[in-house]
Amino acid sequence: MAAALFDPWGQPALDLSRDLILTSPTPPTLVADRVTHSTTRSVYRVHWNTIALWNDFAAQVIQYWNNVPQVDKQANVMAQEDYRGCFQRVGFSVAGNEGNIRVLILHFMEAVHLAAANGGNGGTAPRPSDRHSVLQQWEQGVEANELAGRPDLVMRSEYGHIPYRVTVMVEAKNPWQVTPAGLDRVRQGPQRIHCCYFISDS
């Protein structure tokens, strides 16, 4: 990577492309020596009624990315020093509970997503050709759809009439407790949800 250029106004230059930040590996997280075996129970569970494994999720992501215009991929959307700071804040962090997982998602993925999808860096990053929801922590003012509960994170529409539309609800879970057998129990249980999930091998 080239060295960052200096902006006379004190703002770091946007010198990392959308392609680079979206295709780079995410920072590794280490599992703590002592981990919690408890898990939060989302109040959404009582409203979910179906669960399904999204088998072609990866294929759909690849298909979408292959059709993203090259000008969008090559656009510089984040400063190298900002990206490095996000990476260093969470890289090789130790997680022992769901709160740790949620913080790691916020400190890296939220910042990178904002830059790549929503014109981050104070609105200076060029937006992609298509529109994307904003990833953020749930808070007052986001409960646009009168949701019955509080997810850890949400994705909400950026445009349109207020109140905003919530497009995704995210629950942070302890990865050491998400097992194939556990997922089967949820799928076969009386309370069902509609979601997608994927498990990292690393």
Q: Give the position of tokens 């919690």.
A: 36
Judged on CB neighbours under 10 Å (0-12, 13-18, 19+), 22 is middle
- At 120 the pLDDT is 84
- For the question of whether the overall pTM of this predicted structure is more than 0.85, the answer is no
Residues of the chain with pLDDT under 70: 1-11, 39-51, 140-149, 160-163, 183, 186-202
Structure tokens at 146: 């009168």
Question: What tens digit of pLDDT does each residue of 60-86 get?
Answer: 999 999 999 999 999 999 999 999 999
Q: Which of 93, 116, 123 is nearest to 27 (CA)?
A: 93
